[in-house]
Every structure is written in C-alpha cells, then in structure tokens.
Amino acid sequence: LGYLNDLNKKIQVRSDLIKAITAEANFLKGEINKNEKQKKALEKELKVLKEDYAEMILKSYKSKSEQSKLMFLLSSEDFFQGYKRFRYMQQYADFRRKQGDTIVAKTEKVEALTRKLQFQKKQKDALAKSNRQEADKIKSEKEAQVGLMKKIKTKEKLYPEPNSRSELRHCSFFTGAKR
C-alpha cells in the first residue's frame, strides 16, 4: 500500500508538472504570436521606407549632375535665396542619410525579432517534448498502479477477511499483534 501511495503521489506531481509546462507553453505561444505581429508590422514599415528611399534616390539620380546642383544655386535671384537653396540641399542630403539609417535600424530590429522568435519556438518545442515525456511517464506509472491493484486484489482473495471476533483474535495471535 505504501508503494501504491507513492505511485499516486508521483502521478499527481507529474500531472501538476504537465499543467505547469502547458501553462508555460501557452504563455510562449502568446509571446510568439505577439512578436510575429510586431515583426509583420516592422516589415511593412521597412518595405514602405525602402520604396520611398528608392524613389528619392531615383529622382536624385535623374537630377544628380554636379552642374545641375551648381546651376540650381547660381540661378538664385539673390544671395538669400541662394543660401536657402544651399540649406535645402543640405537638409535633403541629411534626410536621405537619416532615412538610410532608419532602414538599417529597422532591418536590424526585424532580424533581432526573427532570432527571438526562433529561440521562443525552440523553447516551445522543448516544452512540448518535455510534456510528452511526462505524459508517457504518467502512463507507465498508471499501468504499474493498475498492475499493483490487481496483485492486491488477488492477494485479498487468497486471505479472506475475518468474519468474527474470534477469527480476528486468532489472526492477531499468529502475527504477534497486541490489542
């Protein structure tokens, strides 16, 4: 009976462990879904940024010649307008550089999120494997429990319960038990 109680405790502990593993797996599943949505949003933003950047570069290439930049500055009506045009060209170059930096940063963020997702999926797979192993152990312990119960029942049939008080005294006499 002690072994049977031990088996029951083991089964209960393993069942609790499976519940904990399942809860952790569900939490990871939620995190994975959240991160996948975030990754899709970042990829969408990145695509728009790249398209805008490509369009800007194309327009800049079409009017890129140094002569056209110089002509743009020199065709100013006065010095103040020339200065404004010069500042515009600087701001435009800064904007292009910042947009390129933003694209690089978003790309790195997407890559980091992808690595995080891969790690989380590996964790989830490991938890699922652990869950299956624990379920298999519970199954084998339950089978052992059933086998033990059968043995106990067959032994009970071999040794019937005493019907009267005199039979009970007789049994306790042979076993050396005290009243």
Burial class of residue 68 in the structure, from the number of CB atoms within 10 Å of its CB (0-12 exposed, 13-18 middle, 19+ buried) = exposed
Mean of pLDDT over the chain? 82
- Interatomic CA distance for residues 106 and 47, integer angstroms: 10
Q: What is the pLDDT of residue 143?
A: 87
Q: Report residue 65's pLDDT band, with 50, 70 and 90 as the boundaries.
A: low
pTM of the full structure: 0.59
Does 173 have pLDDT greater than 50? no
Does 156 have pLDDT greater than 90? no
Higher pLDDT, 167 or 107: 107
Higher pLDDT, 163 or 135: 135
Q: What is the pLDDT of residue 164?
A: 53
